[in-house]
Amino acid sequence: MTTTIPRSTHSNPAPGQPVDIDHFIAGRVDARGASARTVVYNPATGQVTGHVAVATPADVDAAVAAAATAFPAWAATPAHVRARVMFRFRDLVDQHSDRLAAIITSEHGKVLSDAKGEVTRGLEVVEFACGIPQMLKGEFSENVGRAVDGVTFRQPLGVVAGISPFNFPAMVPMWMFPVALACGNTFVMKPSEKVPTLTVELAKLLTEAGLPDGVFNVVHGDKVAVDALLTHDQIEAVSFVGSTPIAEYIHTTASAQGKRVQALGGAKNHMVIMPDADLEQAVSALMGAAYGSAGERCMAISVAVPVGEETANALRERLIAALAELKVGPGTQPEVEMGPLVTDVHRDKVASYIDIGVQEGAELVVDGRGQRVPDGGDGFFLGGTLFDHVTPSMRIYLEEIFGPVLSIVRAASFEEALQLVNDHEFGNGTAIFTADGNTARTYLAQVKAGMVGINVPIPVPMAFHSFGGWKRSLFGDHHIHGPEGVRFYTRNKTATTRWPDDSQVRADFSMPTHE
């Protein structure tokens, strides 16, 4: 909810008092238009920790204007010089990684080890961006005609925007802006208002690394800010990660304005467990993939598909035992394995899906509602939940829950399991656990999903590959980061050149050929 909140002192708040989180425009923290603010919580305690500014269209205009002003000089900066900024930024993020992870845990709730891993995965994209001179090398063909040469190269788009979700405050923005900046674009970032602090901290580190003022800007806010970005005539491209309904809206709205769009949507990731799988390994993988980060991951496994009744029964019993040992609590406690959900509203939404599953006739094997957490205060906790005998017609199977809820859908055969995955509207990621190479190879070849794990539960590719799903998990033609990211943030230009001598001055009225 947006409201008018009295300002606190951003730089020196009283101990324990909420801080103000402002925009970052033209190289500095910018509090313009910040009379309207929304609250930021610590999910582990339920306490308000901050008040984040909510941008107006005028605030977005200011950020875009700063980026547009900075673009010509930044685009003209040699690629290897831009890469040096990325190198320095990489070192600074690494030096501050513990502090950045603590910020993530305080606003998102995920455990510290997970937050540190998120920073590391984001850094991998920065490291990829450090090699941008190699990625921007063009092509040259000598003598495509007599004394005619051909050359192809890539140029930046201009001002581009990124809109990121709450679940990865560091990693998802770093999937976007390092590649965009290294390619010579300038950037306006709109992070989730639920987790706003981290992106501003990254902006400060970019400035410290030598990024010129205005090249990277941050605006906070809600749908008003998003729509201002989607329709702004100086924004050339938009990157988005979030739910499928919003991804589709982003793609439709921005595309209608003639912008490039990569909009990554939701998921319902299946993990197929074959009878020959190492069941202990599979259960361990499922626990981390389903309940890590409280299931608030677009690559979380939310559907387990054991093949055969014997496999299903054994998997179920092992999962029940593992869930009994799952340690839930504040993410700052070293022994905790799963923290709270990001807000009370989101926790209640996830809990409502548990109600729906029971109403639809699924067997609720482990119920996470009413999870009690010592020292949890008023935190937004929900325990790990397990359903069995879930069918493909149930809402808990069809819809993305985005919480610590795992459904077991039993399959009689490999073919039935494969068909389940392929019939679902989402196609983000999937995994299969098996000891048989032919089964794995067949699954990889025939499954309709963008990212596949073979005995790997969360197959997020390394930064030098590209991340993205199929079907209604992706809107747009380009996956994010890696080579696809470079193509998204640049456009191709081809030149055909000739330097004639004095004998080549006669007009030619025929169609040009290279004969």
CATH number of the domain where residue 365 is located: 3.40.309.10
pLDDT-based confidence at 371, cuts 50/70/90? confident
- 128 and 209 both lie in a single domain: yes
Task: Tell me what percent of the residues of the chain surpass a pLDDT of 90.
Answer: 89
Quote the domain boundaries for residue 181.
2-265+473-493
pLDDT-based confidence at 499, cuts 50/70/90? confident
Report pLDDT for 221. Answer: 95
- 478 and 448 both lie in a single domain: no
- 362 and 477 both lie in a single domain: no
503 in any annotated domain: no
Residue 298 is among the residues annotated as catalytic for this protein: yes
515 in any annotated domain: no
- 483 and 446 both lie in a single domain: no
7 has pLDDT over 60: no
pLDDT-based confidence at 3, cuts 50/70/90? very low
Report pLDDT for 377. Answer: 77
- 224 and 279 both lie in a single domain: no
- 226 and 343 both lie in a single domain: no
CA 436 from chain center: how many Å? 32
350 has pLDDT over 60: yes
Q: Are 109 and 52 in contact (CB under 8 A)?
A: no
- 358 and 480 both lie in a single domain: no
Per the residue annotation, which of 159, 174, 298, 406 is the catalytic one? 298
4 has pLDDT over 70: no
467 in any annotated domain: no
502 in any annotated domain: no
- 276 and 253 both lie in a single domain: no
Report pLDDT for 9. Answer: 34
Quick: pLDDT tens for 159-193. Answer: 999 999 999 999 999 999 999 999 999 999 999 99
Q: Environment class of residue 309 by beta-carbon count within 10 Å: exposed (0-12), middle (13-18) or buried (19+)? A: exposed
- Average pLDDT in the 277-289 region? 97
Lowest mean pLDDT among 30-34, 90-94, 384-388: 30-34
Neighbours of 492 (CB within 10 A): 11
Q: What is the CATH number of the domain that holds 125?
A: 3.40.605.10
pLDDT-based confidence at 375, cuts 50/70/90? confident
Going from the C-alpha of 331 to that of each of 36, 200, 288, 347, the distances in angstroms are 30, 22, 15, 16
pLDDT-based confidence at 8, cuts 50/70/90? very low
The CA distance from 185 to 113, in Å, is: 33
- 143 and 99 both lie in a single domain: yes
- 47 and 12 both lie in a single domain: yes
499 in any annotated domain: no
Characterize the bridge pairing of strands 36-42 and 47-53: antiparallel
The CA distance from 480 to 9, in Å, is: 38
Nearest in space to 407 (alpha carbons), one of 292, 285, 301, 281:
301
2 has pLDDT over 80: no
Report pLDDT for 14. Answer: 58
The CA distance from 53 to 39, in Å, is: 9
- Average pLDDT in the 450-457 region? 96
500 in any annotated domain: no
Report pLDDT for 32. Answer: 82
DSSP for 263-305, please give it: EE----EEEEE-TTS-HHHHHHHHHHHHHGGGG--TT-EEEEE
- Average pLDDT in the 336-345 region? 96
505 in any annotated domain: no
Q: Are 107 and 100 in contact (CB under 8 A)?
A: no
Tally of structural domains, the chain? 2
The CA distance from 114 to 291, in Å, is: 12
Report pLDDT for 13. Answer: 54
463 in any annotated domain: no
If you average pLDDT over every residue of the chain, what do you get? 94
- 186 and 84 both lie in a single domain: yes
- Average pLDDT in the 39-59 region? 96
10 has pLDDT over 60: no
Helical (H) or strand (E) element with 107: helix 97-108
Quick: pLDDT tens for 189-219. Answer: 999 999 999 999 999 999 999 999 999 999 9
For the chain, the straight-line distance linking the first and the last C-alpha, in angstroms and rounded, comes to 68
Characterize the bridge pairing of strands 474-475 and 260-264: antiparallel
Quick: pLDDT tens for 128-137. Answer: 999 999 999 9
- 215 and 316 both lie in a single domain: no
Sign of the four-CA dihedral 460, 466, 470, 472:
positive
Task: Tell me what percent of the residues of the chain surpass a pLDDT of 70.
Answer: 95
Report pLDDT for 326. Answer: 96
Lowest mean pLDDT among 14-18, 24-28, 76-80, 220-224: 14-18
